[in-house]
């Protein structure tokens, strides 16, 4: 198993993962990144009342970038 780091990009801000997580393959990495990003986006929408947001999880290992999972949402109220 390899150690993967899940850095959070929220707009222009980057929060670097210093600890990492051991996972067995890139499918597990993709699932963890997607699950984490969905939870973070949900929390931001509920607590900040954000109307537009772009977030990403940038995954890397000791050799460099592995993948990026990006999520964009816009809240547009009609009434």
**Averaged in consecutive runs of 10 residues, what is the pLDDT profile of the chain (79 residues)?**
96 94 97 93 71 87 97 77
- Cβ neighbors of 64 (< 8 A, separation 6 or more) are none
pLDDT on residue 52: 66
pLDDT on residue 40: 86
Q: What is the pTM of this model?
A: 0.84
What does the buried/exposed string (b/e) look like for 46-57 if buried means 16 or more CB atoms within 10 Å of the residue's CB? eeeeeeebebbb
């Amino acid at each position: 198993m390899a150690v993967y780091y899940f850095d959070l990009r929220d707009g222009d801000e980057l929060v670097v993962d210093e600890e990492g997580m051991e996972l067995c393959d890139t499918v597990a990495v993709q699932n963890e990144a997607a699950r984490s990003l969905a939870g973070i986006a949900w929390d931001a929408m509920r607590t900040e009342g954000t109307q537009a947001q772009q977030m990403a999880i940038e995954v890397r290992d000791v050799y460099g970038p592995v993948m990026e999972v990006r999520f964009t949402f816009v809240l547009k109220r009609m009434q």
